[in-house]
């Protein structure tokens, strides 16, 4: 397959639209897909859609890039029928992320109607990522480290839940691309920040083993996290969570620290504040609406917590986002 040249990013496009099967699908996909060149050998793509009917398309490609995906909103199925490591049937959901490298890939994507779907990918050539990591090479996941070696047979794929901070940075980068924020230094900084955070939290594949968690117990810990993310504005108590999932309170706490690196309380607090930051970035709510949405009744308490976490009051942050969207830096780089 020969990739189409994308003059907007200055290197081969990561998406060849000619494989979608029809001109109608090609036009629809182009309206939802956007690419941004960060530097030679590195680009970002965003997908932003709310469809009135299910959208299914098949694709195939020969790939030179390592891909890092961050699912911000919605869900969709990706049936990877042909990869060098076998068939993978992926159900991608908001709050999950993955990294992989497949030299050849073929599959089918199904995006459901009726729900907003947002995701962002960072695409990096192996040589570029290797030069960025340099002294940090030993800290990344062994499979990624192996894929950076110049040899055949090192294709891989890994997926995991995203920490709230990673989700927040991915969201900032998403809106930077979608809103055509034109300061290249800011955009490149966000990409490097996102990759750094994502790789740092996934560098130790033995992290779960430290808590002596069985596979079933790790699944329970992930299910508890999903429940907290769904009910973050009015969360259940730790005792209620433990009882519902048939796990002791101390085991829940220990498991959370092992899998996600923080206590249940700190995870929930961080998730709520990062959610507030995302809502401000989206630009549709004022300070009071954001506070109430994430479960703060007292605006002073919300302001103090936001300032302690991000170093700025919510009102000032909201004002800076509005100024950026309507003036400073507006225009495609």
Please list the pLDDT of the chain residue by residue as tens digits (333 residues).
233 333 333 344 555 555 566 677 778 777 888 889 999 999 999 999 888 888 888 888 888 899 999 998 888 889 988 888 888 888 888 888 999 998 888 888 888 888 888 999 999 999 999 999 988 888 888 888 888 887 777 888 988 888 888 888 898 899 888 877 768 898 999 999 999 999 987 655 544 444 567 878 888 988 898 899 889 999 999 999 999 999 999 999 988 887 777 889 988 998 999 899 889 888 789 999 999 999 999 999 999 999 998 899 999 999 988 877 666 444 433
pLDDT digits (tens, 9 = 90+) for 224-283: 988 998 899 999 999 999 999 999 999 999 888 877 778 899 889 989 998 998 898 887
* 246 burial via Cβ count (<10 Å: 0-12, 13-18, 19+): exposed
Contact criterion met (CB below 8 Å) for 219 and 201 = no
Is residue 70 within 8 A of residue 194, CB to CB? The reply is yes
* Other Cβ atoms closer than 10 A to 97: 26
Task: Report how far Cα 124 is from the mean position of its chain's Cα atoms.
Answer: 15
Give the single-character DSSP code of 85: T
CA distance 277 to 80: 34
CA distance 163 to 102: 25
Chain centre distance of CA 154: 23
Half-sphere exposure of 16 (CA within 13 A, CB side): 16
Rg (CA), the chain: 20
* CATH fold group of domain 208-326: Arc Repressor Mutant, subunit A (1.10.10)
Laid out side by side, the sheet with 42-50 consists of: 33-39, 42-50, 116-124, 66-73, 96-101, 156-161
Residues whose CB falls within 8 Å of the CB of residue 199, separated by 6 or more in sequence, listed in order? 133, 136, 139, 140, 141, 144
With 0.75 as the threshold, say if the pTM is over it: no
Averaged confidence pLDDT in the chain: 83
The beta strands (E) that lie in the chain are given as 5-6, 11-12, 33-39, 42-50, 55-62, 66-73, 75-82, 88-93, 96-101, 104-111, 116-124, 156-161
Tokens 């009102």: give the residue: 315
Residue 114: phi and psi, rounded to 5, are 90, -10
Q: What is the pLDDT of residue 190?
A: 92
Phi, psi of 227 (to 5 degrees): -65, -40
Other beta carbons less than 10 A from residue 219's beta carbon: 12
Instruction: For CATH 2.60.120.10, list the domain ranges present in the chain.
Output: 5-163
Which pLDDT tens digit goes with each residue over 213-239?
787 888 898 889 889 988 999 999 999
Instruction: Enumerate the CATH 1.10.10.60 domain ranges in the chain, comma separated.
Output: 208-326
Question: Quick one: 5-163 is in which CATH superfamily?
Answer: Jelly Rolls (2.60.120.10)
Per-residue three-class SS string for 269-319: HHHHHHHHHHHHHHCCCCHHHHHHHCCCCCHHHHHHHHHHHHCCCHHHHHH
């Amino acid at each position: 397959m020969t990739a189409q040249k994308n003059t907007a990013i200055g290197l081969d496009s990561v998406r060849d639209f000619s494989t979608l099967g029809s001109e109608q699908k090609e036009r629809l996909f182009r309206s939802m897909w956007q690419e941004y060149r960060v530097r030679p050998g590195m680009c970002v793509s965003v997908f932003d859609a709310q469809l009135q009917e299910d959208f299914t398309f098949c694709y195939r490609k020969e790939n030179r890039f390592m891909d890092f995906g961050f699912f911000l909103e919605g869900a969709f199925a990706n049936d990877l029928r042909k990869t060098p490591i076998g068939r993978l049937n992926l159900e991608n959901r908001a709050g999950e992320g993955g990294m992989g490298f497949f030299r050849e890939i073929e599959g089918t994507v199904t995006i459901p109607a009726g729900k907003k779907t947002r995701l962002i990918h960072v695409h990096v050539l192996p040589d570029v990522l290797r030069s960025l990591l340099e002294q940090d090479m030993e800290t990344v996941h062994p499979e990624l480290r192996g894929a950076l070696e110049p040899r055949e047979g090192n294709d891989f794929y890994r997926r995991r839940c995203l920490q709230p901070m990673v989700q927040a940075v991915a969201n900032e980068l998403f809106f930077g691309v979608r809103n055509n924020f034109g300061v290249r230094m800011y955009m490149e900084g966000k990409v490097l920040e996102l990759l750094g955070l994502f790789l740092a939290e996934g560098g130790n594949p033995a992290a779960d083993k430290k808590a002596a968690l069985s596979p079933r117990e790790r699944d329970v810990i992930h299910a508890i996290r999903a429940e907290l993310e769904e009910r973050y504005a009015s969360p259940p108590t730790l005792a209620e969570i433990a009882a519902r999932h048939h796990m002791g309170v101390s085991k829940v706490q220990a498991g959370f620290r092992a899998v996600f690196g923080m206590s249940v309380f700190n995870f929930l607090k961080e998730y709520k504040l990062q959610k507030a930051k995302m809502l401000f970035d989206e630009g549709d709510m004022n300070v009071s609406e954001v506070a109430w949405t994430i479960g703060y009744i007292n605006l002073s308490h919300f302001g103090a917590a936001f300032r302690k976490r991000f170093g700025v009051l919510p009102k000032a942050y909201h004002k800076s986002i509005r100024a950026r969207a309507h003036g400073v830096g507006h225009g495609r780089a």
